[in-house]
């Protein structure tokens, strides 16, 4: 997607520094991280374990406090959690004691106080249908597979109709085959049919192919402390098709470039510390 | 939707049908026949048991009920369990009959023929019912009072980290005092035996329920809390729709503990100073050497406690149906 020049980016992160304390010692999780996310842009943050990518998302979610720098959303400084940001976690996005449709209706209730319970359940059913869970509304999360739980979590985030979607490794715990199915589902839901504006998405992953398929822009982080190694626009046209895309030589070259960045970071660290990918 | 994503729904797995022979040809029924047959043997010299007919009637009734309920069970395991329990009852009655009326190996005064206990049940039924009503009424009152206070206070204090840790220590102190020692103070404080009992049952149920609620709140998975926070839920919603249901398994642990302590306490208290209740019934008649009624009372207490526990288990199963 061509980056339209806007006066104020949707999300603007400037010189972000985040510390965390562990056993009375303070560590720097992120140092001087800066990038912007434009309205309607899909941005992935990739990096090896321990690079602080999830911490970065926690700060955006409003769950973790920054030590320095500035984050603005629509030009306004970020303060705590907010219902303009929908979140999909890797685990436990859904409440185990609510049925799937009640989970979604509960999410809607937090942003749309004006709707009746019946209307909320109707919207919930519409979105369950969209993610292919039409028949599973009355099931509890424990009765669903991990992939179905993530579908439901995406349905809730979409049903809440937030401007921004924050996704923290939503498919990392899913088996390889279903992960591909879910990536394509998300791609189609997000790309839409062109009638509605696309949502702004910040997507954390350690899967390079996932990042390329979905994103307009990829932010590569290196670890200890987490800093931005490079910000790379993804040059592939939308709507994308995985099968077509992976066949092109451009895809291979682009993927190699990212892999190189990924492993360069690891090679530099491999002397001392244990590396977990 | 892909076919590889499967739904784990235990309800949908239908158990294989149990063959009729396996259903109805069981040791339990042999024990029934033996128990029935032994009633027709001559009594031991010097013993006349005019209540044999009661036992025969009871054994027949139990067998008819067993046969009627047998087709209800769908799963092999639950049918086995049911028949085994009934089998134990028949075995117990068989043994009891042999050791008392037929062989007279046990002293008759302490071990009356079981038919006599059954006829006593029937005769005393109105009296027993009054006593059950009294005992269960006190338990319910004290227990419910504890529930409606301990859970909200536990939720509130558990959610306020600082107050919560102080309250945790206090609750450890207070719950370590056996509630029975409050009785003398309760008697001085309150006007009637009933109110003292309710007070003691309240204390006995309050602390475990409170401690259960607190530990439930303190152990809610951080990821669930985060998930609720990012939805922007209000404070009351957080407590009622997130923290409370998440803590419910632990709350039930506390409640069940409180309930079983309550029964022990109440029956003990009734044996000391009451004019009503199951403990009173047992103590009163054993003082007169009427061990038929004593045994009847013991069995009734067992049945009542099992009944209450069963209902509590049903409630728990329903409210925690979302758990795997």
pLDDT in tens, B100-156: 888 888 888 889 989 999 999 999 999 999 999 999 999 999 999 999 999 999 999
Query: Which residue of A lies nearest to B322 if distances are taken between CA atoms?
Result: A97
Same domain, B134 and B98: no
The pLDDT score that the predictor gives to residue B164 is 78
Same domain membership, residue A139 and residue A242 = no
How far, CA to CA in Å, does A20 sit from each of A24, A30, A92, B28, B83? 10, 9, 23, 66, 60
The answer to the question of residue A89 being in a domain is: no
Query: What pLDDT score does A277 carry?
Result: 47
A213 shares its domain with A157:
no
Cβ–Cβ contact A211 with B under 8 A: no
Q: CB–CB of B233 and A110 under 8 A? A: yes
Segment B47-72, tens digit of pLDDT: 777 888 999 999 999 999 999 999 88
For residue A1, what is the domain's CATH number? 3.40.50.300
Query: Could you read off the pLDDT of A152-190 as tens digits, one per residue?
Result: 999 999 999 899 999 999 998 888 888 998 999 999 888
A63 vs B230, B232, B248: nearest CB: B230
Number of domains into which chain B is organized = 2
**Mean pLDDT of the region B217-226:** 92
pLDDT of residue B6: 46
The helix (run of H) or strand (run of E) holding residue A125 is helix A117-130
The answer, yes or no, to whether residue B23 has pLDDT greater than 80, is no
pLDDT value at B2 more than 70: no
> What is the rounded CA–CA span in Å between residue B53 and residue B59?
10
A178: contact with B, CB 8 A cutoff: yes
Range of the domain at B35: 17-102
Please report whether residue A182 resides in a domain. yes
**Domain ends where: A162, A187, A222?**
A162
Q: Looking at per-residue confidence, does B275 or B47 come out higher?
A: B275
Q: CA-CA-CA-CA torsion for A187, A192, A193, A194, nearest 10 degrees?
A: -110
- Is the pLDDT at A122 greater than 80? The verdict is yes
Tokens standing for B107? 């002293």
φ, ψ of residue B75 to 5 degrees: the values are -95, 140
According to DSSP, residue B110 is labeled T
Residues A66 and A9 in one domain: yes
Report chain A residues whose CB lies below 8 A from the CB of B228. 95
A-B Cβ pairs (cutoff 8 Å, strict): 81
| Confidence grade of residue A275 (pLDDT, cut at 50, 70, 90) | very low
**The model scores a pTM over 0.90:** no
Of A125, A141, A162, which marks where a domain is finished? A162
Q: Is residue A258 part of a domain?
A: yes
Question: Among the three residues A142, A162, A182, which one is the final residue of a domain in this structure?
Answer: A162
**In a domain? residue B109:** no
């Amino acid at each position: 997607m061509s980056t339209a020049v806007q006066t104020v980016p949707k999300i603007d992160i400037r010189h972000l520094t985040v510390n965390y304390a562990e056993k009375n010692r303070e560590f720097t999780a992120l140092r001087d991280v800066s990038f912007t996310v434009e309205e309607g842009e899909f941005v992935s943050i990739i990096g090896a374990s321990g690079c602080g990518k999830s911490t970065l998302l926690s700060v955006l979610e409003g769950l973790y406090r920054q030590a320095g720098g500035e984050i603005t959303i629509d030009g306004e400084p970020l303060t705590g959690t907010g219902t303009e940001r929908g979140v999909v976690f890797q685990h436990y996005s859904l409440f185990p004691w609510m049925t799937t449709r009640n989970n979604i209706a509960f999410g809607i209730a937090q942003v749309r106080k004006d709707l009746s319970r019946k209307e909320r359940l109707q919207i919930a059913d519409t979105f369950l249908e969209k993610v292919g869970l039409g028949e599973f509304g009355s099931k509890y999360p424990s009765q669903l597979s991990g992939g179905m739980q993530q579908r439901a979590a995406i349905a809730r985030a979409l049903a809440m109709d937030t401007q921004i979607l924050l996704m923290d490794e939503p498919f990392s715990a899913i088996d390889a085959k279903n992960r591909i199915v879910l990536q394509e589902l998300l791609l189609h839901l997000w790309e839409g049919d062109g009638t509605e504006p696309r949502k702004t998405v910040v997507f954390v992953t350690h899967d390079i192919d996932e990042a390329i398929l979905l994103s307009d822009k990829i932010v590569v982080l290196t670890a200890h402390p987490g800093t931005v190694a490079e910000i790379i626009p993804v040059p592939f046209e939308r709507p994308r098709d995985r099968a077509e895309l992976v066949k092109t030589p451009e895809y291979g070259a682009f993927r190699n470039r990212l892999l190189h960045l990924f492993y360069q970071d690891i090679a530099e660290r491999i002397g001392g510390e244990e590396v977990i990918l | 939707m892909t076919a590889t994503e499967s739904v784990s729904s235990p309800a949908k797995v239908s158990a294989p049908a149990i063959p009729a022979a396996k259903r109805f040809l069981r040791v339990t029924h042999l024990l029934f026949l033996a128990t029935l047959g032994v009633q027709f043997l001559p009594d031991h010299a010097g013993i006349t048991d005019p209540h044999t007919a009661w036992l025969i009637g009871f054994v027949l009734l139990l067998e008819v009920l067993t046969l009627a309920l047998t087709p209800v069970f769908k799963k092999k395991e639950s049918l086995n369990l049911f028949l085994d329990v009934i089998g134990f009852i028949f075995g117990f009655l068989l043994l009891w009959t042999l050791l008392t009326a037929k062989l007279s190996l046990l002293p008759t005064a302490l071990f009356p023929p079981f038919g006599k206990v059954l006829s006593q049940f029937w005769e005393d039924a109105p009296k027993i019912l009054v006593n059950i009503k009294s005992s269960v009424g006190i338990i319910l009152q004290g227990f419910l009072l504890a529930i409606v206070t301990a859970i909200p206070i536990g939720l509130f204090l558990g959610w306020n980290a600082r107050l919560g840790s102080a309250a945790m220590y206090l609750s450890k102190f207070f719950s370590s005092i056996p509630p029975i020692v409050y009785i003398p103070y309760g008697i001085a404080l309150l006007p009637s035996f009933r109110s003292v009992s309710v007070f003691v049952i309240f204390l006995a149920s309050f602390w475990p329920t409170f401690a259960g609620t607190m530990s439930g709140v303190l152990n809610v998975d951080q990821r669930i809390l985060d998930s609720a926070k990012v939805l922007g839920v209000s404070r009351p919603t957080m407590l009622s729709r997130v923290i409370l249901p998440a803590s419910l398994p632990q709350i039930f642990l506390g409640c069940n503990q409180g309930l079983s302590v309550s029964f022990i306490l109440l029956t003990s208290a009734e044996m000391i100073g009451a004019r009503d209740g199951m403990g009173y019934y047992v103590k009163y008649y054993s003082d007169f050497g009427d061990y038929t009624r004593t045994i009847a009372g013991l069995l009734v207490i067992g049945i009542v406690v099992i009944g209450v526990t069963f209902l509590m288990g049903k409630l728990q199963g329903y409210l925690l149906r979302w758990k795997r």
